[in-house]
Amino acid sequence: MSVVPAPRRLAGPPGLLEKLVGAVRPEFRADELVFDPRDPVLGGKPCLVPGCERTAAGHGLCQGHRQRWAAAGRPDAGEFAASTDPRWRKGTRPSRHERIRVDGLPAQLRLEVQYALQRRHDEREGKAPPFVVMIMIRFLAASGASSLLDRTEQEWREAFGRKRSNAIALLAWSRRQVADLAEGAGWDTEYPRDAWQMHRLGFEGRNVLDFSGIPQQQLRDLAKRWIRWRLSTGLGLEAGGRRPLRFLTRFAVFLHARGIAGTDGISRAVLEDYLAGLHAAMSGRREHGAHVSTIGLFLTAVRQHGWAPGLPPGAMIFPGDQPPRIELLPRALAGHVMAQVEQPGNLAREENPAYRLATLILIRCGLRVSDALRLPFDCTVTDDSGAPYLRYLNHKMKREALVPVDDELLALIRGQQQSVLGRCPAGTVLFPRPAKNPDGKTPVSSSTYRLALYRWLERCDVRDEHGEPVHLTPHQWRHTLGTVLINRDVPQHVVQKILDHDSPLMTAHYARLSDKTVREHWEKARKVNAQGQPVQISPDGPLGEAAWSKQRLSRATQALPNGYCELPMVRTCPHANSCLTCPMFVTTAEFLPQHHAQRQQTLQIISAAEANGQARVAEMNEQVAANLDKIIATLEADGNGKAPGDAP
Q: DSSP string of 82-93? A: HHS-SSSSTT-P
pLDDT of residue 565: 58
389-436 pLDDT per residue, tens = 999 998 877 788 888 888 999 999 999 999 998 888 777 899 998 877
Alpha helices, H only, 283-423 = 286-305, 335-341, 344-347, 353-365, 369-373, 407-423
Q: What is the pLDDT of residue 137?
A: 94
What are 314-334's pLDDT values in tens digits?
999 999 999 987 666 667 788
Sign for the pseudo-dihedral over CA of 83, 88, 90, 93? negative
The yes-or-no verdict on residue 529 having pLDDT over 80 is: no
Q: In this model, does residue 378 exceed pLDDT 70?
A: yes
Confidence bin at 66 (pLDDT 50/70/90): confident
The answer on pLDDT for 502 being more than 50 is yes
Average pLDDT over residues 260-279: 95
C-beta separation of 393 from 371 below 8 A: yes
Q: How far apart are the C-alpha atoms of 50 and 548, rounded to whole Å?
A: 61
Q: What are phi and psi of 135, to 5 degrees?
A: -60, -45
H helix or E strand, kind and range, residue 486: helix 475-487
Q: Which helix (H) or strand (E) holds 449?
A: helix 446-460
Greatest alpha-carbon span in the chain: 110
Q: In the prediction, which pLDDT does 645 show?
A: 42
Average confidence (pLDDT) over 58-81: 86
H helix or E strand, kind and range, residue 100? strand 98-101
Instruction: Identify the band that residue 562 occupies on the pLDDT scale cut at 50, 70 and 90.
Output: low
Give pLDDT tens digits for 160-196.
Answer: 876 668 899 999 999 999 999 999 889 999 999 999 9
* pLDDT higher than 80, residue 14: no
For the range 181-188, what are the long-range contacts, defined as Cβ-Cβ under 8 Å and sequence gap of 24 or more? 181/16, 181/19, 181/20, 181/23, 181/115, 182/15, 182/16, 182/19, 182/149, 187/228
Is this prediction's pTM over 0.85? Answer: no
Distance in angstroms (rounded) separating the CA atoms of residues 195 and 197: 7
Helices (H), 333-373: 335-341, 344-347, 353-365, 369-373
Ramachandran quadrant class, 161 (left: phi over 0; alpha: psi -120 to 50; beta: rest): left
Domains and CATH numbers, the chain: 2-183 (no CATH), 188-321 (no CATH), 335-487 (1.10.443.10), 524-567+578-648 (no CATH)
Per-residue pLDDT band for 128 (boundaries 50, 70, 90) equals confident
Residue 591 has pLDDT above 90, yes or no: no
Q: Greater confidence, 578 or 558? A: 578
Stated as kind and residue range, the H or E segment containing 544 is helix 541-557
Burial environment of residue 6 by CB neighbours within 10 A (0 to 12, 13 to 18, 19 or more) = exposed
| C-beta neighbour count of 438 within 10 angstroms | 16
Task: Identify the pLDDT of residue 49.
Answer: 87
Across-strand partners of 401? 392
> What is the layout of strands, in order, in the sheet containing 585-587?
528-529, 585-587, 563-565, 559-560
Between the alpha carbon of residue 180 and those of residues 174, 222, 229, the distances in Å are 10, 26, 23
Asked whether the predicted pLDDT for residue 523 surpasses 80, the reply is no
* Mean per-residue pLDDT of the chain: 82
For 87-235, where are the alpha helices, taking DSSP H only?
A: 107-123, 130-143, 153-160, 165-183, 187-190, 217-232
